[in-house]
Structure 1
């Protein structure tokens, strides 16, 4: 039995997606992964680091764990979704990747976006089919170890502050400009 997704920081209950009555778009930062498999749980452990920050009221943190399709109903009320997860890009441990779901079709076939039974891409595809997929950005980190264990490896612990900086930059850009940062390819 999988644990239920858990909202870590929930604010702004009066917000309605797409509403013009609120000035700020609703943003959710979701950490996903299996905390029993060391670096596979980096997304969930990342939220602990991010929760220490003072975040705007329109930002919510969600511990998605390995919940899968149960996440669809939780993301339908947000305008922007930022996901942090382990990805296998056959790169150096700790390498950080920034991409949108649309980028997946042009990525090399050896690039694994999710280690979970039902990946986050399937969750986003279902939300899209239902007509309520938020604009989404994914920060993936190349894990070093997927062995049984509750601790992140030192290499992954060392890059989480940089991932936090990147996520905070995105939150600021969405808040100020209503979109993800434009990155030159």
Structure 2
């Protein structure tokens, strides 16, 4: 049996400090430590151009800054269809064309991979390429979580269970 194709995509604008955390997070991985069926993709702020890049993917994990108006470094894990858990005042993406629009177009085209989003609350959105200490501190735990996701996908062709509030 062929293992599922997994893509870990980091998105964001690296010129706006923590807004680029998704892209900068990919630097935590060395190619030799990734399973053979895992591909890294710097999505940057590409928007709709990403649709064709994800069409051959079975499982997509996205890391992005999310404005949940909470403590910097807070991590949220959700599926696109669970987006209703966020109050309207929260922004799921800071980009002009958000990742949810990319996934919606992929769905229309019949190319939507199973998708999971890890959103991290940024501290700073100022001009600059350096991440805040609060964001850097999250990366080791987030990296460990990615390897758990990869293992679960390879073992059971599913993401780790997402606990839902009762």
TM-score, structure 2 as length reference: 0.96
- What does residue 76 of structure 1 align with? 55
Q: Secondary structure at the match of 1:109?
A: coil
**1:43 counterpart (22, 26, 33):** 22
2:73 corresponds to which residue?
Answer: 94
Unmatched segments (≥5 aa) in structure 2: none
SS at match of 1:28: strand
Q: Which residue of 2 aligns with 1:161?
A: 140
Query: Could you list the runs of 5+ residues in structure 1 that have no partner in the other structure?
Result: 1-21
Which of 82, 85, 91 is equivalent to 1:106? 85
The alignment partner of 1:97 has SS state of strand
Calculate the TM-score normalised by the size of structure 1: 0.86
1:162/1:47 CA distance change after superposition, 3 Å? same
Do the aligned residues in 1 keep the contact of 2:64 with 2:120 (CA within 8 Å)?
Answer: yes
| Residue in 2 that maps onto 1:181 | 160
Matched, 1:152 2:131: yes
Contact 2:78 2:162 in 1 (8 A): no
Number of residue pairs matched?
A: 164
CA deviations over 1:34-56 (Å, ceiling 9, x no partner): 00000000000000002366111
Q: What's the secondary structure of 1:70's corresponding residue?
A: helix
Deviations 1:85-107 (A, max 9, x none): 00000110000000000011232
Moved over 6 A (4+): none
For residues 37 and 111 of structure 1, the distance between their equivalents in structure 2, rounded to whole angstroms, comes to: 19
**RMSD (Å), alpha carbons:** 1.1
SS at match of 2:33: coil
Secondary structure, aligned partner of 2:118: strand
Q: Distance in 2 between matches of 1:62 and 1:179?
A: 20
Deviation, structure 1 residue 23: 2.3
Structure number with greater CO (CA < 8 Å, separation at least 6) is: 2
Shift of residue 145, structure 1, vs aligned partner: 0.4
Q: Does 1:136 find its partner at 2:115?
A: yes
Secondary structure (helix, strand or coil) at the match of 1:171 reads helix
For structure 1, which segment, 158-167 or 45-54, has the greater mean C-alpha deviation from structure 2 after superposition? 45-54
Q: Distance in 2 between the 1:52 and 1:93 partners? A: 29
